[in-house]
Each structure stands twice: as C-alpha cells, then as structure tokens.
Amino acid sequence: MNIQALSVHDYRNLAEAELSLGPGFTVLHGHNGAGKTNVLEALYLVSTLRSFRTSDLGVVVRSGTEASRVVVRGFDAGLGVSSTLEVRLERRGSTTRRVATADGKTVRSGAQFYGRVRAVLFTPEDLGVLRGGPTGRRQFMDRVLFGRERGHIADVQTYEKLLRSRNRILREEGLPAAERERLLGTYETGLAQTGARLWTRRLELLHELQARFSGAFASIHGEAGEQADRGGAGPVASLRYECKLGPVSAAEREPTLLQALLERRALDERRGGTSVGPHRDDLVVLLDDQPAGDFASQGQSRALVLAFKLAEVQTARERSADGTPPLLLLDDVSSELDPRRTALLFRTLGEHAGQCILTTTSPRYIDLPAQVETRRYRVDQGTITPDPAIA
Amino acid sequence: MRLALAMVKADPEYLRALSEAIGSVHAQLKQCRVCCDFTSDEVCPRCADARRDHTTICVVSQPQDRMAIERTGVFRGVYHVLHGVLDPLGGVGPGDLRIDALLARLHRDPSDAAALPGVEEIIVATSPNVEGDATALYLSKLIGPLGVRVSRIASGVAVGGELEYADVTTLHRALEDRRRL
Ligand SMILES: Nc1ncnc2c1ncn2[C@@H]1O[C@H](COP(=O)(O)OP(=O)(O)O)[C@@H](O)[C@H]1O
Ligand SMILES: [Mg+2]
Ligand SMILES: [Zn+2]
C-alpha cells in the first residue's frame, strides 16, 4: 500500500502526531529521545501487529493513558482503492487488547491484515546481529519473514506455545509413563508440523536472498576501497542455514523433526528443555566459506548486515503481486555506518523507487539523491512539525 | 460482553433478582451421566433419544459448542462435553477433562443385550487453535488404539478462531469435511 498519511495517538511519547508521506523519502530528524523511532515503531505495528522493540504491547501505550491508536491512510494498488487501516491497543490491567480495523471493519484474523502494508526495517541494532548470539539472528530472519509470509507470525506463536507445553510436560513429575508418552507425542506432532514450516520458510528466504546478498556485499566492499588490500578479488559472502538435523529435503523435514524430538526425550528431560528444532537453528554468514561471526571486523560485519538488508529490499519488490515496493523504515542508519557505506546505501535507496522513512539525529548525515521527492519533519519531545527549511 | 455491558447500566434491584435467578438455575443444572452436558435430568434428552445414532460421538469442549453444532441440524449422533481443553501452560491436564467418562462410553459389555450399539466413530469438534488441536490429537492417541475411528472437523472455521462464533454454514461444512486423525 502506498501510504499518504499517518496519524498516531497516545503511542509512547507521541500524544497526537500527524505525518503526510510523499511517494519518495521522508526524513525525521530530532534529538535522541525525541520520538523518531517511536514513529517507525507505530508504522511497523500497522504492518505486523507487533512491535520490533518489545513483545509486551502494553508498554507502548502512552504513560497516563489507556489506549493507543495508529491510523494509516493510503492507496492500495493491489485492490485499486483508497484504504484506511487502524490498530488500537487497549490496556486493561496486565493485558493489552489489539484491535485492527480495515476501512472501519474489525479484522478478526491477523492473516487478513498482514501484508496490507509491507515494511522492511533496518535498525542500528541489526548491525550487531552477526556478532551477537543466535537468538538475535533467528529473530532477524523471522522479522524478515513476518513481512513476507502471512502465516509466519501465527506459526511462530503456535510453535512457541507448543514448545513451552512440551517443556512443561518434560518437567512434570509423577505422570504415568503411558500418559506422559501420549502427551509428549501430542505436542511433538504439532511441533514437527509447525517447526517444519518455519524451517522451510527460513531456508527459502536465505536461498532467495543468496545471490543478491553476495552481489550487494561485493559492491559495498568495492565501494569501501578494501578490495586493493587483498590483491583485487574481495572475499565472497554467502548465507547458510544451520540446523542440527543437516540438510533435509522438504518432504522429509516434518518426519525428521518428529523423530529427533522422540529420540531426544531423555536428553531433553535432563536438560529441562527441547534441544532440537527451529528455535535452536542459526543463520551463519560466511566470508570465503568461513563463518564471519567469528573473525569479521566490526566494519565487515556491518557491511554484511547491510548487504542482507539491501538484498531483502530488492527481493521484496520482486515478490509483491502488484510490483509495489515495500515501505522502508531506516532507523539511525547513518550514525552507525562510515561515509562510504552510507553513500552506497543512499544510492541504493535512490533506485528503490518506493516510500522510505529515515530517522537521524542530524539532517547533515542524510545525503539523498536530489531527483527523488523528499519531505522533512522535525521531531521534538513527541511532537512532529514539517521542516521545509533544511535543504 | 454485551450482556455484561447491559448489566452495568441496569438498576441494582433488577440485578439482585437476576443473580438469584441465575443461582437457582445453576443449582438445578446437573451434568448428564453419559455425556456430561448440562441437563436438568439424570440423562440428557439427546443421550436418551433412541432415534439418534449412538455409534457416533461428537466431542466438544463446552456446552455452547454442542448447541452450535445442534443448530446446524446435520448431526444425528450423540455428544460428549469435555468441559475444557488440554492446556499444560494453564495447568489443565487430561485428568481435568471429562475423558474418563468418554472412555467409559466406549467399553460395552457384550453380555448385555439391552445395551446400545458400540461406538464406531468419535468426531472431535474442538476449536482450531493450539489447545483445541492438542486435545483432538491427544484423544486420537488415546482412543485410536481401541479400534474406534477418530476424526476431526475440518477447519472451515477461521484458523485461530472460536467455534462458538462460527456460523451455521461454516460448521455444517466443517462437520462434513472432517478428516481422520
Ligand atoms: N509508554 C510511553 N509513554 C510515554 N513516553 C514513552 C513511552 N515509551 C517510551 N517513551 C519515551 O519515548 C522516548 C524515546 O523515543 P524514541 O522514539 O526512542 O527516541 P528517538 O527519537 O531517539 O528515536 C523517551 O523519551 C521515552 O521516555
Ligand atoms: Mg531512535
Ligand atoms: Zn447426555
């Protein structure tokens, strides 16, 4: 969907904020803590019904108020109509209710809502993902999939619930053996079904990004002038999905996972948790066939993540049924990258031909191609005002 | 929810009378000795009805779901109400559901000539969410080995949705498209 306007009510520090978006770039600038990331988070909420910063949606409701509302108006090229999407979060004690409406009608299942606004998010935290733990990399892959596959969010939630259920039964004492067997079998069947789907989607994602990722890394590398150090040819970057169960054909994934769960019951009981499945897999980024996480420099590992994101943007547009490029949400990117990589990023953004919202502490960092329409806003203590003055 | 809202607005005298009435209805409600559905008799009208097909049991999690299915008018068998779904995270295990009573219905005494015909099929009609699916699967693991066919209603019901709110046509189709577990 092409977004024309965003309005945010009582979301984090944004009491009332209105923003109109053009077809190209929108730059939000302001001090740290002004509320810039909150705007991106609100847009991401309309895209995925989730936050990228917290799993407890209650914390995003503005302090002292009980409900948040985010409204997006735009033109849905797929449906050929103007459309208004709204997400309301209502805090009730310790729980928070999510209500999504499309053109005034309540949307009962998330699957009907996901995909109306497809967003690609890039935050400074992403840059550390290669050097951090596997949890961050699994989330990194799943977040990409949330924007691509309607069923992925529901499957991740189902999988997590099944996993906690199996672990609970493993730890339960005094269950008769036959009963325990039946209960474990019940949850393992579900885990194998949903787990195989998660596994397959992540493999397909990496497979699809592979070539563009290698290409993007090569150009970033060349751009950064590091090629000369290595006598011309830079290292080749590639992606690998790491799973204890090894490469398994699509049809064999579910039975293989089921078998592994069965075989590991005793081990898992001792450990008090499930030791196999997509919640234990990892994304491995290779440089010349060596896992980059172990030895890549800080600059290299950032360049690798940037290459991944650029590949994601390219494939997202190709995948969209009506050719609409995804909405890019770029948070604080320039503060974390060196000038040459930033320049490459902006050049790629210029080719993006879609809507892109960037945040920065200083508009100086933002050097966007002049031919693309750019709107600028100033964010200050939760209020947003148009700022045409800065060129 | 709508009822609760209406009650907030109602006058206190009316509310007191209403709550007494609800209390006395509740006291009269017993669970059917056979299917555990709420009833005012020992055995509910459906279990007592010899014209129904007693070889097929539709298992539901709550009495409201039994009513929803009964409204479709297509199901001619009998029911069993579990009064809950499996939910280890919420502390609900098989022992907390009316599963023993269901098993008891499957064991027929062959020497008793007056007994109803044996059960041939169990259709599990729990909601299509994690708990409902697990309950159905658990029952198939428990009952399948006893030689009784176990099937699950198709999820014509919105996935992740609640059975009680499914409309009649959707439920109708879901029952007919049931698949073997
Ligand atoms: N629920 C909330 N209610 C009110 N203010 C909040 C809430 N959650 C976060 N904030 C405020 O939002 C601000 C951070 O906004 P953020 O968008 O992260 O800033 P930045 O402009 O640096 O990206 C902080 O001042 C924080 O106190
Ligand atoms: Mg920020
Ligand atoms: Zn009965």
E strand or H helix that includes residue B132: helix B130-143
Query: Is residue A51 less than 8 Å (CB to CB) from chain B?
Result: no
pLDDT at A310: 85
Dihedrals φ, ψ of A226, to 5°? -90, -10
Q: Which value, in Å, is the radius of gyration of the alpha carbons in chain A?
A: 22
| Cβ-based contacts of B159 with chain A (< 8 Å) | 109, 111, 154
The contacts of residue A84 (CB under 8 Å, 6+ apart) are A71, A72, A73, A102, A103, A104
- Place B119 in a pLDDT band, splitting at 50, 70 and 90: very high
Do B155 and B132 meet the contact criterion of CB atoms below 8 Å apart?
no
Q: Does ligand 1 come within 6 angstroms of the Cβ of A63?
A: yes
User: How many Cβ atoms are within 10 Å of A345's Cβ, its own excluded?
Assistant: 22
Do A160 and A135 meet the contact criterion of CB atoms below 8 Å apart?
no
pLDDT at A302: 79
How many angstroms does the Cα of residue A19 sit away from the middle of ligand 1? Answer: 18
* Residue among A9, A10, A13 whose CB has most ligand 1 atoms within 8 A, to mutate: A13
Quote the CA–CA distance of A163 and B64 in Å, as a whole number.
30
Query: Is residue B142 less than 8 Å (CB to CB) from chain A?
Result: yes
Q: Is residue B99 part of a domain?
A: yes
The yes-or-no verdict on residue B161 having pLDDT over 70 is: no
pLDDT at B158: 47
The yes-or-no verdict on residue B29 having pLDDT over 80 is: no
pLDDT at A55: 84
pLDDT at A353: 72
Positions of chain A with pLDDT lower than 70, given as ranges: 111, 223-233, 321-322, 334-336, 389-391
Q: Between the CA of residue A180 and those of A265, A291, B50, B124, what are the distances in Å? A: 11, 40, 38, 21
* Sequence-separated contacts (24+) of A262-270 with Cβ below 8 Å: A262/A185, A262/A188, A265/A170, A265/A184, A268/A167, A268/A170, A269/A170, A269/A171
How many angstroms does the Cα of residue A12 sit away from the middle of ligand 1? Answer: 6
Mean pLDDT of B79-103: 96
Summarize pLDDT for A338-375 with one digit per residue, the tens. 777 777 777 777 777 789 999 999 887 777 777 788 99
Which chain A residue's Cα is nearest to B162?
A108
| Cβ-based contacts of A169 with chain B (< 8 Å) | 88
Q: Between the CA of residue A173 and those of A120, A176, A247, B97, B139, what are the distances in Å? A: 45, 9, 36, 19, 22
The yes-or-no verdict on residue B6 having pLDDT over 80 is: no
Q: Which atom of ligand 1 is nearest to the CA of A35?
A: 17
Q: Is residue B157 part of a domain?
A: yes
The yes-or-no verdict on residue B5 having pLDDT over 50 is: no
Q: Does ligand 1 come within 6 angstroms of the Cβ of A13?
A: yes
Which chain B residue's Cα is nearest to A181?
B141
Torsion (CA) B139, B142, B145, B147 in degrees, nearest 10: -50
pLDDT at B156: 52
Query: Is residue A190 less than 8 Å (CB to CB) from chain B?
Result: yes
Chain B nearest CA to A318, separation (Å): 29
The residue among A22, A64, A15 whose CA lies nearest residue A42 is A15
- Place B21 in a pLDDT band, splitting at 50, 70 and 90: low
Q: What percent of chain B lies above the pLDDT cut of 70?
A: 67
Question: Which of B133, B135, B155 best tests the A interface by mutation, with the highest count of A CBs <10 A?
Answer: B133
User: Taking a contact as any Cβ pair under 8 Å apart, which residues of chain B between 62 and 91 contact chain A?
Assistant: 86-89
Q: Does ligand 1 come within 6 angstroms of the Cβ of A38?
A: yes
pTM of the model: 0.81
| Cβ-based contacts of B93 with chain A (< 8 Å) | 183
Q: Is residue B25 part of a domain?
A: no
pLDDT at A88: 96
Q: Is residue B108 part of a domain?
A: yes
Q: Is residue B14 part of a domain?
A: no
E strand or H helix that includes residue A141: helix A134-146
Dihedrals φ, ψ of A70, to 5°? -125, 125
What tokens were used for A6? 């965003």
How many angstroms does the Cα of residue A98 sit away from the middle of ligand 2? Answer: 24
pLDDT at A221: 73
Domain range for B126 = 50-180
Q: Is residue B56 part of a domain?
A: yes
pLDDT at B112: 62
Q: Is residue B94 part of a domain?
A: yes
- Place B157 in a pLDDT band, splitting at 50, 70 and 90: very low
Q: What is the CATH classification number for the domain harbouring B168?
A: 3.40.1360.10
Query: Is residue A168 less than 8 Å (CB to CB) from chain B?
Result: yes
Q: Which atom of ligand 1 is nearest to the CA of A13?
A: 5
Do A206 and A241 meet the contact criterion of CB atoms below 8 Å apart?
yes
Q: How many domains, in total, are found in chain B? A: 1
Q: Does ligand 1 come within 6 angstroms of the Cβ of A277?
A: no
Task: Look up tokens 């400074």; give the residue.
Answer: A124
Query: Is residue A171 less than 8 Å (CB to CB) from chain B?
Result: no
Q: Is residue B43 part of a domain?
A: no
Q: Which atom of ligand 1 is nearest to the CA of A36?
A: 21
Which chain B residue's Cα is nearest to A187?
B134
Dihedrals φ, ψ of A380, to 5°? -145, 120
Exposed, middle or buried by CB within 10 Å (0-12, 13-18, 19+), for A178?
A: exposed
Q: Which atom of ligand 1 is nearest to the CA of A63?
A: 3
pLDDT at B172: 65
